[in-house]
Amino acid sequence: MPKTPSKPVAKRATKAKVAPEKIEAAFFDVDNTILRGSSSFLFGKAAFKRKFFSRKDFVNFAWHQARFIARGETAKTMNEIKDRALGLIAGHRVEELSVLTDEVYDDYISPKLWPETVRIAQQHIKDGREVWLITAAPIEIAEVIALRLGFTGGLGTIVERKDGVLTGRLEGKPLHGKAKYKAMKHLAAERNISLKRSYAYSDSVNDLPMLTHVGHPVAINPDKVLRTHAKAAGWKILDFKKRELRANR
């Protein structure tokens, strides 16, 4: 007998996997953006108070701070401040750095915070965005500011540790210029952040790699070159005055 042809078996439709919707974030530089001046210098002031180094070193730090505020961030200035800061903490224990970082925030960073930048960042949090600080300063400074102000987190330069002691050398490169953008890009991939819908804030032309890769770049207290670029590109520019810091006191 001829075989009865078998009926075709209906295949169950498989649902295509839907990728989770990307989130938005706001990325902030720290020095001259979240606060006035250099956080590394403020760290140096606290270290001097705890007798981590000499008065001569402190005077040199003060000179670099004044030049940083007057001229803005340059690669040379950043390297000089970074090298001095690393020299200060070499040989000290990790626990000492943790205590010192809290002191830096309470006594030195908090009074220097730009109120309007903090308000903008906290509004991003209220609007459902993540807020990240990305700085060339030690990661401990970024983390303590983020924690105290209720931000999502902070990324910064990592100082090498060996047997619980700070060596004064770096793990990888300082988060400056292109390295800062790479850190932002890696974080965005890790946390499913859409850079096209995100924001970035900085005062320095060195942060153009970060600013140009988000949908909403903003220049805060910009140096001369960044101001020119921001005007030509139609970016928002915010300028704050020293007297506005009185609101923090």
Find the range with the poorest average confidence among 17-21, 30-34, 101-105, 119-123. 17-21
Distance CA 157, CA 82 (A): 10
Strand partners, 170: 159
Angle at 181 between CA 176 and CA 184, to 5 degrees: 115
Q: What is the pLDDT of residues 82-110, one digit of tens each?
A: 555 555 566 667 777 777 888 889 989 99
Characterize the bridge pairing of strands 236-238 and 216-220. Answer: parallel
With beta carbons less than 8 A apart as the criterion, state whether 98 and 171 touch: no
DSSP symbol at 35: B
Q: Which CATH number fits domain 25-248: 2.40.50.140, 3.40.50.1000, 1.10.10.10, 2.102.10.10?
A: 3.40.50.1000
Fill in the DSSP letter of residue 193: B
Token duo for residue 50: 């705890």
Predicted structure pTM score: 0.79
pLDDT at 43: 78
Domain ranges of the chain: 25-248
Query: For residue 141, what are the CA distances in angstroms to 89, 158, 195?
Result: 13, 11, 24
pLDDT by residue (tens digit) across 43-66? 777 777 766 655 555 555 554 444
Tokens representing 199 are: 């924001």
Using alpha carbons, select from 199, 182, 35 the residue that is nearest to residue 131.
199
**Residues designated catalytic:** 29, 31
Cα–Cα dist 19/173, whole Å: 33
pLDDT at 68: 47
Nearest to 210 by CA among 25, 37, 28, 23: 28
Residue 89's pLDDT is: 64
CA atoms within 13 A on the CB side of 171: 10
Question: C-alpha angle 10/14/20, rounded to 5°?
Answer: 170
